[in-house]
Chain A
C-alpha cells in the first residue's frame, strides 16, 4: 500500500463532484479533530472557507478533498485525512513530526515505508509522540522541509521499544503523482 500516489494523474480521478454542505461540514470537522492546530489558528477557514464549495474525487480507495480545483486533503479508506505536502509546507506546525536519518531519504522519496531503524537512528528525532493510526509528517535530518506524510503503524513508544518493522506507512511523498498534480481542471 506504500506509494499510494505512485501513478496518479487527472484521468485517475473519478467522479469529481460537489458535496452537500452537510458532508462538507463533516469533512471539515474531521480535519479539525485530526489537526486541532488548524482550528485554533483558524487556518481551517482559509483552507476550507464556509462559502466555498467542496468537491470530492475518488482515486482507487483514496478520497480527495478538492477546493477551487486544488487537492487539499486526502483520505485512504477510513483513515485520517492527510494534507498534501504543499499544504503541509505552508503550515508545518499542523502535524506531528518525525525525523529520519539521511540514509532513509532516497527510499522515502521512492515511496518506501519508514522502518523503525530509520527513526531510532542516532541522527533521527521523534519530535512528537503518537499512537497507531496517527497522522505524522516525515522530515529528514538536516532538512528544513517535510518530505512525506504518513500514518503511524506502531506507536512511537513501540517504535523505540521494538525497533523492527514498518513504523510509518508512507502515504504521500515529494515528487509523487499527487505532488506533481495539485490542480485538477
Chain B
C-alpha cells in the first residue's frame, strides 16, 4: 500500500511543478478516484499460487463419463491476486457463509470461441477443483474439471475500472493473444 502511494506522489511531483505554488505541498493527489489497492494499475499486482483444497477423484470422473483427462496434481497452477482474495473474503463475510466461492468456468461461444463464465457459488460439486489463497481466507475458487484443462496456469484478479469492478481471468497460457475487447472471450492456442 505504501509503495503505491509513493509512486503516485512521484508522478504527481514530476508533472505538476507549476502547480506547486497553488497546491499546498502536503496535499496528496492520486490519479484514480478508487483506492490504489483496488484500481486497475498497469503493473502486475501481487499474486500468490493457490492452495489446492480438493481435487475430483478419477473414479468419479469415470463414473460420470466426463470426457476429460485429469491434470496431475503437481501441474495444477492457479494464481490468485491478493486483492481478488480480499474481495472474496469480503463476499464470504457479507453472505455470512465461509463456503461462498467464485465459480470460474469456460464455455464455448463469444467472439473468439471460448468465454469465461463467473458466478457466485456455494456448493462444491464432486467434479470441481477447489482452490484457496494461502493467507487471505476464506477465499474459495471452484473450477470444474473440464474448465480447469482450459484455465490451468491462469491468474484470477479483481479489477476496478471506470466501467465497473469485476473478477478477471488473466494470463491464461492456453489463450492466444489478448482476446476480445471485454476480456471475456478468447481463442485457444493450438
Same assembly? no
